């Protein structure tokens, strides 16, 4: 048995969860897993000329892929299964579509990484091997994701121990222990390290092994704050009976639970069989409950679709993307179908297509008048067909910015109808001219086109023969060239092909003149787009009118053309004015995207969130800038105690001695009166188990519009604080009581073992 394997087994003798973790519980003896462990040659595809065979295999820990590399100065490369977002079978990436022949469809697969890391495009030597690789990897990924929090935590600690055990002799010297502590993001002075070491070295051999490592692990992972809470409620011979647990659920978690609920939790989370038979919960079971679904901050009742999805489309906030084709900035970044796939998989429901005449008569998508690369319109439509409904079954809107000649417009219409087929909405749903928009429920699985239309929708009910006509080009297209006069651009005309015009049903783009003009002249299916500065002005000075406008019309907001770095505006002000399609640059991470993903976190992450009643009811006179409708708004007080954090990631992995000094910020976003933030002090040299016990409180005037963002940063006296992780959710989805909060990276991926631990109390004033 290898040193690292023995270390793992010794360390985890009584930690069954962790032991199963490395060995992939449920996959023992699995042929696909065996195939991955044996490994084999795959051709890595980078370009037409760069296609090279490399050997890949899954390492013994079951968590790490190893690949040989032929660059002398690079070490043999590994990557963690945790870094993989998904496996795509076939030629489903731009690289494989460009650089391999379509006869090789069944030989190819791609590993898609989280964050901004490039895809790994691979080709097996046989169809069977490609299938085995893809199936095996999918199984291992799902298995990793299904590990409970405890198992993930143990896996993380054990892999750090393995790295610290330099000579793989399954013993840890004092020097190795110090190295290990730095690995797990904790810096202790030499005396404390020596004391810990001595306490565990019961054999006085000068090394830790077997049970001693186990004792060291337990000492390290002991959570005093959990001991205190458990001790307060465990009144039955040192354990929690079902009644004790119910007491905790009612008093601390503010849940209207029953004895039956408590028994279900014991059955679900208690690892000790004797305790389970006695209907009791041990401290281990209690911690497992606290780090799982029912113990997290997000209300489990809000995880799946729970809102009424049968209201008109304009009654929902809709997750929307701007310049969807871009992977980076707006001046010279690459355009890619991959950017559409990523946005759609993040539940984006409105994507933008900037269409221009391309060579060989084929329309292309790119950021006009810039050096961004081009991608074929038909390739984007194929990607949309494939990925539109993978994470949400509710409608997708294609926001067309059309700069094409009539001939290429006809081809655009042809590509959409032939590729999207029955998913493309080409006629109004009913037999009569609509007086309000259909609902997300009625439009499930459908793709809608937003763009210019030559005539009113009434024409769809009788045969019209107009072929081509001109329409004024405003929207973003009018703002296209930097420095051009506003007045000049407003009058630009574009010829529009009937074939393309006819595909615009419920999202006809019209110019916005005034709220009065819209009330009198605009049909429910006609919608306007607003540049962020125009929308901001209306939201600040005519918010109530803007909200009423959005009660029966759709509004799309887009970033100013001056944001050449693809930065984002804060979407909250736009939502406060009832705007539905608040388009952000999904390719740019940061606070604004965190708020967007937080807004659309509940309701099954389906990309649609029902607006509050006071934004849908014509009797409402709600003004976000002066919220006074007392009865309707239900003011609340939010008390947060930031208690501790666990296993924060090291930021500078290249510098073993670099340890984080973490602090936590709690931020509230909503109407202007609700914007607030507070923070803890920072803790020196401890990212493993820092403890703050810091109380904060916030007044929330309009709970239905408020978002709460928890941010962990690394304090730096000399320069900008570094981001460690964050989690954002709607205030109305926050659970009371002792709650763990998962932490997400900048690109919205879960950091596997990191958590915040807080106590939440929401009170009436």
**Per-residue confidence at 1, pLDDT binned at 50, 70, 90?**
very low
**Per-residue confidence at 161, pLDDT binned at 50, 70, 90?**
confident
**Per-residue confidence at 215, pLDDT binned at 50, 70, 90?**
confident
Distance (Å, whole) CA 99 – CA 94 = 9
State the pLDDT at residue 8: 43
Q: What is the dihedral of CA 280, 281, 282, 284, to 10 degrees?
A: 150
353-369 residue pLDDT tens: 999 999 999 999 999 88
CATH of domain 630-763: 2.60.40.150
Residue 497 has pLDDT above 80, yes or no: yes
Average pLDDT, rounded, for the chain:
89
State the pLDDT at residue 466: 60
Region 587-606: what's the mean pLDDT? Answer: 97
State the pLDDT at residue 449: 98
Region 328-349: what's the mean pLDDT? Answer: 90
Any idea which residues carry the catalytic annotation? 322, 367
State whether residue 32 is helix, strand or coil. Answer: helix
Residue 634 or 644, more confident: 644
| Widest Cα–Cα separation across the chain | 95
157-171, 521-535, 660-674, 694-708: which has the minimum mean pLDDT?
A: 157-171
Distance (Å, whole) CA 213 – CA 201 = 9
**How many Cα atoms within 13 Å fall on the side-chain side of residue 116?**
11
Token couple for 400: 């067309």
Give the predicted TM-score (pTM) of the model.
0.89
Of 757, 726, 722, residue with least CA distance to 645:
757
Tell the CATH topology of 3-145: PH-domain like (2.30.29)
Given CATH 3.20.20.190, say whether it is the number of domain 313-479+487-615.
yes
- Give ranges for CATH 1.10.238.10 in the chain: 224-295
512-535 residue pLDDT tens: 999 999 999 999 999 999 999 999
Region 528-556: what's the mean pLDDT? Answer: 97
Q: pLDDT > 70: what percent of the chain?
A: 91
State the pLDDT at residue 483: 39
State the pLDDT at residue 681: 97
Distance (Å, whole) CA 198 – CA 182 = 18
Distance (Å, whole) CA 700 – CA 670 = 9
State the pLDDT at residue 15: 38
Distance of CA 76 to the CA centre of its chain: 31
Query: Is the CB of residue 288 less than 8 Å from the CB of residue 304?
Result: no
Residue 259 has pLDDT above 80, yes or no: yes
- Give ranges for CATH 2.30.29.30 in the chain: 3-145
Give the count of beta carbons closer than 10 Å to the beta carbon of residue 429: 15
CATH of domain 224-295: 1.10.238.10
Element (H, E) at 284: helix 283-290
Contacts of 391 by beta carbon, 8 Å cutoff, 6+ apart: 344, 345, 346, 347, 605
Region 578-583: what's the mean pLDDT? Answer: 98
Which letter, b or e, does each residue of 24-50 get, where b requires 16 or more Cβ atoms within 10 Å of its Cβ? beebeebebbebbeebeebbbbeeeee
Contacts of 551 by beta carbon, 8 Å cutoff, 6+ apart: 314, 315, 578, 615, 616, 617, 618
State the pLDDT at residue 694: 98
Distance (Å, whole) CA 253 – CA 587 = 38
């Amino acid at each position: 048995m290898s040193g690292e394997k023995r270390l793992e087994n010794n360390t985890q003798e009584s930690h069954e969860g962790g032991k199963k973790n490395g060995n992939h519980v449920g996959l023992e003896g699995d042929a696909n897993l065996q195939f991955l462990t044996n490994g084999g040659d795959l051709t890595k595809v980078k370009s037409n000329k760069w296609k090279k065979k490399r050997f890949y295999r899954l390492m013994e820990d079951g968590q790490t892929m190893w690949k040989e590399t032929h660059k002398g100065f690079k070490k043999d490369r590994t990557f963690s299964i945790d870094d993989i977002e998904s496996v795509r079978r076939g030629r489903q990436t731009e690289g494989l579509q460009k650089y391999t022949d379509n006869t090789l469809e069944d030989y190819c697969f791609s590993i898609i990484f989280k964050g901004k890391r490039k895809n790994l495009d691979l080709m097996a030597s046989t169809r069977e091997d490609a299938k085995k690789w893809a199936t095996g990897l999918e199984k291992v990924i799902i298995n990793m994701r299904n590990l409970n929090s405890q198992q993930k935590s143990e896996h993380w600690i054990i892999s750090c121990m393995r790295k610290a055990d330099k000579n793989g002799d399954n013993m840890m010297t004092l020097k190795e222990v110090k190295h290990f502590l730095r690995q797990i993001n904790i810096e202790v002075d030499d005396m404390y390290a020596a004391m810990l070491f001595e306490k565990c070295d019961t054999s006085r051999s000068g090394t830790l092994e077997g049970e001693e490592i186990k004792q060291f692990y337990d000492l390290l992972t002991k959570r005093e704050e959990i001991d205190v809470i458990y001790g307060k409620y465990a009144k039955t011979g040192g354990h929690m009976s079902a009644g004790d647990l119910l007491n905790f659920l009612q008093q601390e978690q503010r849940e209207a639970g029953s004895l039956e609920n408590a028994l279900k939790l014991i059955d679900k989370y208690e690892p000790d069989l004797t305790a389970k038979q006695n209907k009791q919960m041990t401290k281990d079971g209690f911690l497992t409950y606290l780090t799982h679904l029912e113990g997290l901050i997000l209300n489990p009742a809000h995880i799946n679709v729970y809102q009424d999805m049968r209201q008109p489309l304009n009654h929902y906030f809709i997750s929307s993307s701007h310049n969807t084709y871009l992977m980076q900035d707006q001046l010279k970044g690459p355009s890619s179908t991959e950017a559409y796939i990523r946005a759609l998989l993040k539940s984006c429901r409105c994507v933008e297509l900037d269409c221009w005449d391309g060579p060989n008569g084929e329309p292309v998508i790119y950021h006009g008048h810039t050096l961004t690369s081009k991608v074929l319109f038909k390739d984007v439509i194929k990607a949309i067909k494939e990925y539109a409904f993978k994470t949400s079954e509710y409608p997708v809107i294609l926001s067309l910015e059309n700069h094409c000649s009539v001939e290429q417009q006809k081809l655009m219409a042809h590509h959409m109808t032939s590729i999207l087929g029955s998913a493309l909405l080409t006629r109004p749903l009913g037999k009569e001219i609509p007086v309000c928009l259909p609902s997300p429920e009625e439009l499930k699985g459908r793709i809608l086109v937003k763009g210019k239309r030559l005539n009113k929708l009434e024409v769809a009910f009788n045969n019209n023969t107009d072929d081509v006509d001109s329409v004024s080009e405003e929207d973003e297209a009018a703002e296209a060239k930097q420095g051009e006069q506003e007045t000049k651009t407003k009058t630009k005309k574009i010829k529009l092909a009937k074939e393309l015009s006819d595909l615009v049903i419920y999202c006809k783009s019209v110019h916005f003149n005034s709220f009065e003009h819209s009330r009198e002249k605009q049909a429910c299916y006609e919608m306007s787009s607003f540049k962020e500065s125009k929308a901001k002005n209306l939201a600040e000075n005519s918010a109530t009118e803007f909200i009423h406008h959005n009660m029966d019309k759709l509004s799309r907001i887009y970033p100013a053309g001056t944001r050449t770095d693809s930065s984002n505006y804060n979407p909250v002000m736009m939502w406060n004015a009832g705007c539905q399609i608040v388009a952000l640059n999904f390719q740019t991470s940061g606070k604004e995207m965190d708020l967007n993903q937080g807004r659309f976190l509940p309701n099954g992450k389906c990309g649609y969130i029902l607006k509050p009643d006071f934004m849908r009811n014509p009797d409402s006179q709600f003004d976000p800038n002066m919220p006074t409708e007392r009865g309707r708004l239900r003011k609340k007080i939010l008390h947060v105690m930031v208690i501790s954090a666990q296993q924060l990631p090291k930021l500078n992995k290249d510098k073993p001695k670099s340890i984080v000094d973490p602090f936590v910020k709690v931020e509230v976003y909503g109407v202007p009166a609700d914007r607030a933030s507070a923070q803890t002090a920072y803790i020196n040299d401890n990212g493993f188990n820092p403890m703050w016990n810091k109380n904060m409180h916030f007044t929330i005037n309009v709970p239905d519009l408020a978002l709460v963002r928890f941010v962990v940063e690394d304090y730096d006296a000399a320069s900008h604080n570094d981001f460690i992780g964050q989690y954002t959710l709607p205030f109305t989805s926050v659970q009371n009581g002792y709650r763990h909060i998962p932490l997400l990276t900048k690109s919205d991926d879960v950091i596997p073992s990191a958590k915040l631990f807080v106590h939440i109390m929401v009170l009436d004033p």
